[in-house]
Structure formats: structure tokens, C-alpha cells
Amino acid sequence: MDRLGSEELQTVLVLDGGVSAPTGGLVNGSNVRLIALDFSPRGTETPTEWGRRLGFEPSELAVVTTDARSVDSFDAEMIQQVRSPADLTGIGVEATKLLDTWGEETAATPCVVLDSLTVLFQYAQLQPLYQFLHALTTRIANVGGYGIAFLDPMTQDQQTVRSIASLFDATAERTDGDDWQIRPR
């Protein structure tokens, strides 16, 4: 299976309603610092929980979330809060600060996980979300990091899914049971 960090893959859009990642993970390598843009109501609050979901346990965890979420529930080195998932500028600023900080250090690779685009689509239209993702994926590439975003494809029309997918190096979709297909762009 293709993984981030191999064959020019730095970003992947996971198309799955269950918001899980392919078994075995998507990231090739160790010592990965995770920047979680976490707006899902269920939340993934500890590095171990992220490890189960993504197939790798991050060496450090930073979270960008909303003011409505209790920071005490997160087991993270850094927690940044924004007003709401509609605050794409605020989310981008906080993610960029973390990428700049962690991207400068060569000992670990930053990985941004956006959980989830499905939630952000409840607060933003396609055009501003597309611009936000374009800026984010460009910034991830510039620091040599990885990016994983989750989207339930059943919540959007096919044109919207294709538009969003065009910003990522690959898409990952569940085919049968635990089998996944990763399609490079």
C-alpha cells in the first residue's frame, strides 16, 4: 500500500463515513508529530487513540479545536482554540504556527490531521473551504510534512468530492471490510 512519505505522497483525503484510516496506517516512518485539527463531536483526545485510528502513535500531539471543547479532555503538548469550525482563518493561523514551529525541527515530521471536513462543510461553503485546504496543503508540502483529511463522501455531491480531492496527492477509500484502495492523483 502507498503511504505518505513515499512516492511523492504527502497528503491524502480519506473518503469514509466511519472516519477511520486504512489498517497499517498511511504514514511511512516514525517520530511523527501530530497536529490534530479536531472538530468532530466524538473527539480523539490522546496520542494512543490517534495511534489506533491512524496506524501510528505520534511522538507529540498538538490540537486545534473550538472554544466549546474542554481543553482538560485532551492529552496534548499544545492546545489552541478557535471560536468555531466556521473560523477557517483562525484554524489556518493556528495550524500554520504549529507547522512553522514543528517544521523547523528536523528530528520529527509534522503531520496535520483534519477531523473532519464533514463537520467543516456544516459551517463553510465549498469555495472558502477549498481556499483554506489549498493554503493548508501547500503549507504542509513546504515544510515537508504529511496531511490527512477525513470526509464522509455521502454528505457531499460527487463534484464537490472531486473538487476537494484535487487538492490532495491521493484518496483512500474502503472497498470491502478492512480493505482500502489508495488512488494517487
Q: Is the pLDDT of residue 6 over 60?
A: no
> Is residue 102 a contact partner of residue 35, using CB atoms and an 8 Å limit?
yes
Please report where in the chains the cell 472558502 appears, as a residue: 128
Higher confidence at residue 20 or residue 36?
36
Per-residue confidence at 161, pLDDT binned at 50, 70, 90? very high
Q: What is the pLDDT of residues 97-113, one digit of tens each?
A: 999 888 776 678 899 99
Q: Is the pLDDT of residue 1 over 50?
A: no
> Is residue 16 a contact partner of residue 175, using CB atoms and an 8 Å limit?
no
What is the spatial distance between Cα 134 and Cα 123, in angstroms, rounded to a whole number? 18
Q: What is the pLDDT of residues 55-87, one digit of tens each?
A: 788 888 998 988 777 777 777 888 888 999 999
pTM (predicted TM-score): 0.89
What is the spatial distance between Cα 32 and Cα 10, in angstroms, rounded to a whole number? 13
Closest-CA residue to 39 (of 132, 158, 169): 132
Q: Is the pLDDT of residue 2 over 60?
A: no
